[in-house]
Amino acid sequence: QVQMQESGPGVVKPSETLSLTCTVSGYAISSGYYWGWIRQPPGKGLEWIGSVLHGGSSNYNPSLKSRVTISLDTSKNQVSLKLSSVTAADTALYYCAAKDDIFGIYWGQGTLVTVSS
Amino acid sequence: DIQMTQSPSSLSASVGDRVTITCRASQGIRNDLGWYQQKPGKAPKRLIYAASSLQSGVPSRFSGSGSGTEFTLTISSLQPEDSATYYCLQHSTNPITFGQGTRLEIK
C-alpha cells in the first residue's frame, strides 16, 4: 500500500516560495499514478493544486498554474511542490496525493503551512 | 472545469437514522467519483470508490450509487462515530474537483 509523508517549513514569509517534499514508500513513483498536491485552508474545503505523471504530462489548477511547479525525483522516490509569491491566502494544510484511475486519491497525512512575516 | 454540487452543506441526524448526501456533476464523469470522510485534524479517508464500490475495511452501512452526473452516499444506520465532514471528489477530468462538503452532526 502506498504511503506518503510530507515535510517542509511550517512558516513561510509573504512573497517567498513555499517548498514541500513528499516521501513515498510502498510504491515506486516511476511505476504509475499521477502524483500531486491538494490543499485545505483552515476550516475550509479541499482544493486540488496539480499533478504530474512520471515521464508524462502535468496538470495544474488554472487558478494556481502561474505559481506552481510539481516535480518528481525517482532516485529518492519523492514528489516536490514549489509555490511562488505566497500570500496569507496560501495558508493551508497541504496534502501529498496519488491519483489512481479506479480508486481515486491516496492521501498523505498533511502538513500545515502558515504564511506570515 | 467540472463543478461538483454537493448537498446538503450540513445536516443533523440521530443514531440509527438513514442519511443521504448527493453530488451532482456539471457534466458526465462516468463513475469516476469517490466519497471521503474527514474528521478534524485528519486526512480524508476513502469510503467509496468508482461511485459504488466499498473501500476495504469500511463498514457496510456506507453505500454509494450513481453514474454520469448524479451520485449519492447513503449511511443506512447512523452511528456516533460517523460525525464528520463528507466530500465527493471527481477524478474523471483534470482539474480534479471536490464537492463543498457536508458536515454531519449526530444529535
The model's pLDDT over B69-89, given as tens digits with 9 standing for 90+, comes to 999 999 999 999 999 999 999
Distance of alpha carbon A99 from alpha carbon A54, whole angstroms: 12
What is the pLDDT, as a whole number, of residue B34?
97
Residue A1 pLDDT > 90, yes or no?
no
Looking at the complex, does the CB of residue B43 fall below 8 Å from at least one CB of chain A? yes
Contact A109 B91 (CB under 8 A): no
Looking at the complex, does the CB of residue A88 fall below 8 Å from at least one CB of chain B? no
Q: Which residues contact A25 (CB under 8 A, 6 or more apart)?
A: A2, A3, A4, A5, A77
Q: Which residues contact A63 (CB under 8 A, 6 or more apart)?
A: none
**CA-wise closest residue to A76 among A117, A1, A25:** A25
Among B1, B43, B98, select the one facing A107 at the smallest CB separation. Answer: B43
Looking at the complex, does the CB of residue A41 fall below 8 Å from at least one CB of chain B? no
pLDDT band at A28 (very low <50, low <70, confident <90, very high): very high
Amino acid at B60: S
**CA-wise closest residue to A96 among A43, A17, A25:** A25
What is the pLDDT, as a whole number, of residue B94?
85
Q: Which residues contact B95 (CB under 8 A, 6 or more apart)?
A: A48, A50, A59, A60, A61, A62, B1
Looking at the complex, does the CB of residue A104 fall below 8 Å from at least one CB of chain B? yes
Q: Which residue in A33, A48, A95, A96 has the most chain B C-beta atoms within 10 A of its own C-beta, making it the best mutation to test that interface?
A: A48
Residue B106 pLDDT > 90, yes or no?
yes
Q: Mind listing the pLDDT tens digit for each residue in A79-107? A: 999 999 999 999 999 999 999 989 999 99
Q: Mind listing the pLDDT tens digit for each residue in A39-64? A: 999 999 999 999 999 887 889 999 99
Q: Mind listing the pLDDT tens digit for each residue in A10-20? A: 999 999 999 99
What is the pLDDT, as a whole number, of residue B83?
97
Q: B47 or A57, which is more confident?
A: B47
